[in-house]
Amino acid sequence: MKFGKRVADLDLTPPHAGILRAISMSEGMSQKALGGRLGIVPSRLVELLDELDQRGLVERRDDENDRRVYALHLTKKGGATLEALARVGREHQETLLAALTSQERELLASLLAKVAEEQGLTPGVHPGYAYLRRARRSRKGPGAQR
């Protein structure tokens, strides 16, 4: 996962990157709304936001109308990090698609966009957030030490 490596240089993980981007697109949204949009369960979102908060990238401001909710905002540093992430994304894409001409890249993008749309994916939202519980594997058995 080359992209993850690049993001790690910013002391973040790919899930963090998606959250920063989502917040920047709708500043002030609640955790509930953010989690709903990305498909992250509340408990997981809390931890990811804690980490972003801790790094000074995101602020949880009190909502005056409803004291149960936080209004999520990017800090100045958060905005700068988002720009750095955009650079990282461009670099990653350049490396990944090095084998293709720019015409081929556009073609690939349009084919994939068709597929994504037909599959009902939301643009800008990585489907990996919505985790699907795998089937339970039964365990152990043979293979004793000879």
Partner DNA sequence: TATTGTTATACTCTATAACTATA
Partner DNA sequence: TATAGTTATAGAGTATAACAATA
The stretches of the chain forming alpha helices (DSSP H) are 2-8, 14-25, 31-38, 42-54, 76-96, 102-118
Give the whole-angstrom CA distance, residue 78 versus residue 136: 39
Number of residues near a copy of itself (by CB under 8 A): 40
- Residue (80 or 131) nearer to DNA, CB: 131
- CA-based nearest residue to 48, from 15, 24, 21, 26: 15
- The contact pattern for a copy of itself, residues 15-54, with x = CB under 8 A and - = no contact, is -------------------------------x--xxx-xx
Q: Does 107 bind a copy of itself (CB under 8 A)?
A: yes
Residues 20-59 that bind DNA (CB under 7 A): 30-33, 35, 40-47, 49-50
Determine, following the binding rule CB under 8 A, whether residue 119 of this chain makes contact with a copy of itself. yes
Tell the smallest beta-carbon distance from residue 142 to a copy of itself (Å). Answer: 5
Q: Among 29, 113, 39, which Cα is nearest to 63's?
A: 29
